[in-house]
Structure 1
Amino acid sequence: MAYVTPAELASKMIDAGEAKIFMSTRDTLIRAFMAGAILALAAAFAVTITVNTKEPLAGALLFPVGFCMLYLLGFDLLTGVFTLAPLALLDRRPGVTVGGVLRNWGLVFVGNFAGAMLVAVFMAITFTFGFSEEPNAIGQKIGQIGESRTVGYAAHGAAGMLTLFVRAVMCNWMVSTGVVGAMMSTSVSGKVITMWMPILVFFYMGFEHSIVNMFLFPSGLMLGGNFTWGDYFIWNEIPTVLGNLVGGLTFVGATLYVTHYKTSPARVATTTVAPAAVATRSASPVLESPVPAPRQQDECLVG
């Protein structure tokens, strides 16, 4: 069958988390690098569509193409391993430690950042003809995104930081739903559909995704955005990573784990007498009627 039940899905999530923790350093870095690069290309694609059509929904509708490609190819995003790797620790799989989980997260972060940065450089070159002229309309838009989502948050102080964090939480709530949703089907079409829907929601709503931002903000700096590397890390990347961790692990990984893998005992059905019925019986006297004596059988009928 193409559909995987939630109980089977929860087991597959734990197995996937365990596999990622024990994956070799080389494979982890390569897969993370490719994931960051492909997602960055998808972000550039979506911004290009939005600028050319002047319709943000069009860009959001097509952005998930990159997400679907990278997961079908077995590459890893930080947002996904935030959700999956800790489940193997919760399930006390042999050899899984906190250090192993942190190692996986660190390697995937490095790989994602390197892949996204490479695409940021490539796209900045294409938007400026090798830095020989001013950025085109798409490059200018990317620079504006960087400004509004760094110094724009900073202008609101603590309220801006809270908003940034909550947007990051909601982002990975949706993105990790797409990650585990792909495991709900054994067909390519089923995987794509279940990934497409939550990724569309996150992108159109403007939630904060740490890997997408690894492309948007460095490229924005190269394209003349009026903010600094410090603004980027303090007022976006670091809070976004933390929010992504909370959103994916809390609202996707942990919830599926506790309700479909470590399920609570089912309630036992009990039969109770309604109080009204008891009161009625106790208030009504029982009238005893004499039991008639059995009739004597006719002797002619007795054997």
Structure 2
Amino acid sequence: MKSLTSAEILEKVSDSAVPKAGSGVLKLLILAILAGAYIAFGAQASAMVSFNLVADASTFGLGKLISAVVFPVGLMMVVLCGAELFTGNNLMLIGLLDKKIRISGLLKNWIIVYIGNFIGALLIAVLINYSGLLESGDGLLGAITVRTAISKTSLDFGRAFVLGIMCNWLVCLAVWMATGAQATISKIFSIFFCIGLFVLSGFEHSVANMYFIPAGMIASANDAFVQLLDLDISGLTVENLLIGNLLPVTLGNIVGGGIFVGIVYWLTYRKLK
């Protein structure tokens, strides 16, 4: 089955912004919670298969590669099962530029979906911590979970912003290609390679961080995890979660997905000959 052209994808993405902007609050919130949970499932699984490798500098790259193979399942579930993901919805800017939706509809969607994504990801972070799974590898998974949260909250604003740009550039390209793919298997492969690339590269995804950082913050209450790798958890604060990481990463995600994918393709196919 033939895939859509980029011009056809642009039209389809533009049209899809209309029901997204017009959806009721409860529907949006439920679908957003599901998306946050799906991304968190992928994040947790990627940590589970790679924690023993990323713990050692000599096998860190291999661990990232294995993690990149598993993490994309989260976005696959979002796209194929139907859910509302903030980072993917940055492409709604195309509908705004085409004057199919208003700025109020765009902001309503983004705000509700962002909150819902956070709820879903936080739910999985709590469940994973109470499941006992972080005890895997004699507690090494728990220690790596805490270390991951520390590394993310230690990023300076500019670096987090840039990593956020590159991340959602790839995420929205994954959504773009999946939109153009007609067969399910084609959608899966479209998502797999772009998302795997961002994970392998170490870019920053706001919704994934809604799982990674809270999961590490909760796990840091376990002294055994902290002592295993002699970790300094003083920086694991709500302020560093929200202002130190999520704010710059979210802004970067909007630029990467909304501008470098959405606006660039809109200008290319709507304004340029």
SS in 2 for 1:78: coil
**1:251 aligns to what SS in structure 2?**
helix
Task: State the one-letter code of the partner of 2:119.
Answer: A
Q: Secondary structure at the match of 1:149?
A: helix
TM-score normalised to structure 1 length: 0.79
Match in the other structure for 1:259: 268
**Structure 2: 5+ residue runs without aligned partners?**
55-62, 221-225, 227-232
Out of 238, 251, 255, which is 1:242 matched to?
251
1:275 alignment partner in structure 2: none
Structure 1 residue 169 and structure 2 residue 178: aligned? no
Q: 2:238 corresponds to which residue?
A: 229
> Residue in 2 aligned with 1:87?
94
Contact 1:28 1:107 in 2 (8 A): yes
Q: CA offset at residue 2 of structure 1? A: 3.1
Shift of 1:264: 2.2
Cα RMSD (Å) = 1.7
Q: Would you say the 8 A contact 1:127–1:139 is kept in 2?
A: no
Aligned residues with identical type, % of pairs: 33
Query: Whose helix proportion is higher, 1 or 2?
Result: 2
Alignment of 1:110-121 (within 5 A): 110-121=115-126
Write the distance in 1 (CA, Å) between the matches of 2:217 and 2:161: 22
5+ residue gaps, structure 1, are 154-159, 266-303
Question: Do the aligned partners of 2:64 and 2:199 also contact (CA within 8 Å) in 1?
Answer: no
Paired letter, 1:108: V
Choose from 67, 70, 83 the match for 1:62.
70
Q: Normalised by the size of structure 2, how large is the TM-score?
A: 0.87
Instruction: Give the corresponding residue for 1:294.
Output: none
CA displacement at 1:87 relative to structure 2: 1.4
Q: What is the CA-CA distance between 1:200 and the residue it aligns to?
A: 0.4
Tell whether 2:77 aligns with 1:77.
no
Q: Could you say which structure has the larger radius of gyration? A: 1
Counterpart residue number, 1:27: 27
Q: CA deviation at 1:216?
A: 0.7
Among 108, 111, 128, the alignment partner of 1:123 is 128
What whole-Å deviation, never above 9, does each CA across 1:38-61 have from its counterpart, x for those lacking one?
110110000011114552211111
Aligned residues: 250
- Judged with a 3 Å threshold, the aligned counterparts in structure 2 of structure 1 residues 53 and 145 are, in CA distance, closer, same or farther, namely closer
Please give the alpha-carbon distance, in whole angstroms, between the structure 2 residues aligned to 1:187 and 1:40. 26
Give the residue type in structure 1 aligned to 2:209.
N
Asked if 1:214 is matched to 2:222, the reply is no
Q: Distance in 1 between matches of 2:188 and 2:140?
A: 31
Matched, 1:147 2:156: no
Contact 2:35/2:120, CA 8 A, preserved across alignment: yes
The residue type equivalent to 1:38 in the other structure is: Y
Provide the residue aligned with 1:102 in structure 2. Answer: 107
The residue number in structure 1 matching 2:200 is 204
Shift of 1:128: 6.8
